[in-house]
């Protein structure tokens, strides 16, 4: 009976890589509007954990979406950045989703969310040291071994720094990509949020970031608070439109990197489908504009 629960694979219907197309978070409340509109040019991204149940409407919805669109499977809870061993049962569920839905993109976070037996349901930060680097690389090796393909690792948004950190976030991320062969998911809103919160230049960060490893970009909205000293503190809330500053940074990155799949994330206070669709169209317009420049660069490099 071991094979009884093995899901049937959904065959690939899109040539990989999917290139410079814009996508959106998939929210089940948008399913009727999406299906009514028929197949669209964009891709959809889902949080893997929402589809780890045995059956029911979530899988039916995901199959309907996956039939006509490329899918991005975005893991949120693998706790890759945590000190304890990966949860093998969770990794097996993740692998099973990759096998079943054959997503065009597979990603996870440079963060942790589980400690001992408690799951905190947040993307928690880690110090950047030689020890944590080895630990993260071991975990990524394990994930990539399980899913038999490269993972895209997302840069975090953070509100604090660890006193013990001995390297910069960009050096840390570059070393991960070099040691594990993983790709990177560059979340430009996260860069902007962290840069504001810690008082560094987002452009400098992007200048240090290994853009050649970037296989996906995230754009999202953020909220504003302040810290104990009255400094602006940005919260990675995913509950509104992409900020103007983040659009500007995206244009710069897209011109340098060339077109890559770009997602507009919206996870809370979810708007009607046309509003999310319009955000993706704005991202697509920037991707389309940068195509000639990127091609020129490629020829130049060749």
Partner 1 sequence: MRPEVNLGFAAAFAPALLDPTRDVPAAVAGRGGKPAGRRYDVYRNNVTVSLIDALAAIYPAVQRITGTDFFRAMARVHVRESPPSSPLLFEYGHGFPGFIARYEHARTMPWLADVARIERAWLDAYHARDAAPLAPTQLAAVAPERLADLVFTRHPAAQIVRSQYSAVTIIAANRDSAPAERIDASAAEDALITRPEFDVVVRHLPPGGAVFAACLLSGQSLGEAAASALDASAEFDIATNIAGLIEAGAFTSISFGDAG
Interface residues with partner 1 (CB under 8 A)? 5, 49-50, 52-60, 76-77, 79, 82-84, 87, 90, 112-122, 124-127, 131-132, 134-135, 159-164, 197-199, 225-229, 231, 233, 235
Closest distance between partner 1 and the C-beta of residue 261, in Å? 25
What is the per-residue DSSP string for 245-291? HHHHHHHHHHHHH----EEEE--SS---HHHHHHHHHHHHHHHHHHH
Would you say 30 or 238 has its CB closer to partner 1?
238
Closest distance between partner 1 and the C-beta of residue 55, in Å? 4
Whether the link from the prior residue into 243 is cis, omega within 30° of 0, is: no
Would you say 131 or 285 has its CB closer to partner 1?
131
Q: Check: CB of residue 37 under 8 Å from CB of residue 44.
A: no
Q: Which long-range contacts (CB under 8 A, 24 or more apart) does 172-178 make?
A: 172/128, 172/133, 173/110, 173/209, 173/210, 174/208, 174/209, 174/210, 174/213, 175/133, 175/137, 176/110, 176/133, 176/136, 176/137, 176/140, 177/153, 177/210, 177/213
Closest distance between partner 1 and the C-beta of residue 162, in Å? 6
Closest distance between partner 1 and the C-beta of residue 204, in Å? 16
Would you say 28 or 210 has its CB closer to partner 1?
28
Report how far residue 214's alpha carbon sits from residue 210's, in angstroms, rounded to the nearest whole number: 7
Total Cβ atoms within 10 A of residue 17 = 13
Report how far residue 235's alpha carbon sits from residue 169's, in angstroms, rounded to the nearest whole number: 19
Closest distance between partner 1 and the C-beta of residue 26, in Å? 17
Report how far residue 82's alpha carbon sits from residue 85's, in angstroms, rounded to the nearest whole number: 8
Report how far residue 183's alpha carbon sits from residue 82's, in angstroms, rounded to the nearest whole number: 20
Would you say 144 or 161 has its CB closer to partner 1?
161
Closest distance between partner 1 and the C-beta of residue 3, in Å? 14
Count of residues making up the chain: 302
Q: Are strands 105-109 and 214-220 parallel, antiparallel or unpaired?
A: unpaired
Closest distance between partner 1 and the C-beta of residue 22, in Å? 27
Would you say 99 or 233 has its CB closer to partner 1?
233
Closest distance between partner 1 and the C-beta of residue 136, in Å? 10
Would you say 46 or 126 has its CB closer to partner 1?
126
Residue 58 exposed, middle or buried by CB count within 10 Å (0-12, 13-18, 19+): middle
Would you say 25 or 132 has its CB closer to partner 1?
132
Would you say 175 or 280 has its CB closer to partner 1?
175
């Amino acid at each position: 009976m071991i094979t009884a629960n093995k899901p049937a694979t959904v065959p690939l219907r899109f040539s990989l890589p999917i290139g410079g197309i814009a996508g959106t978070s998939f929210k089940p409340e948008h399913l009727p509007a999406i299906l009514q509109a028929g197949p669209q040019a964009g891709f959809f991204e889902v949080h893997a954990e929402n589809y780890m149940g045995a059956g029911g409407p979530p899988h039916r919805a995901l199959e309907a979406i996956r039939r006509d669109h490329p899918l991005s499977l975005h893991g949120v809870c693998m706790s890759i950045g945590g000190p304890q061993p990966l949860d093998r049962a969770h990794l097996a569920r993740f692998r099973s989703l990759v096998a079943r839905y054959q997503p065009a993109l597979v990603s996870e976070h440079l963060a942790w969310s589980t400690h001992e037996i408690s799951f905190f349901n947040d993307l928690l930060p880690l110090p950047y040291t030689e020890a944590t680097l080895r630990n993260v690389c071991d975990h990524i090796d394990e994930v990539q071994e399980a899913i038999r393909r490269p993972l895209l690792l997302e840069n975090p948004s953070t509100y604090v720094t660890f006193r013990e950190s001995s390297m910069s976030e960009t050096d840390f991320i570059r070393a991960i990509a070099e040691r594990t062969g993983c790709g990177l998911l560059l979340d430009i809103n996260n860069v902007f949020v962290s840069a504001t919160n810690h008082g560094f230049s987002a452009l400098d960060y992007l200048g240090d970031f290994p853009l050649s490893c970037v296989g996906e970009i995230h754009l999202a909205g953020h909220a504003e608070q302040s810290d104990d000293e009255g400094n602006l503190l940005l919260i990675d809330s995913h509950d509104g439109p992409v900020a103007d500053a983040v659009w500007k940074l995206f244009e710069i990155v897209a011109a340098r990197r060339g077109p890559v799949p770009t997602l507009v994330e919206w996870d809370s206070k979810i708007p009607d489908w046309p509003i999310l669709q319009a955000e993706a169209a704005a991202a697509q317009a920037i991707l389309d504009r940068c195509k000639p420049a990127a091609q020129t660069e490629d020829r130049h490099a060749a």
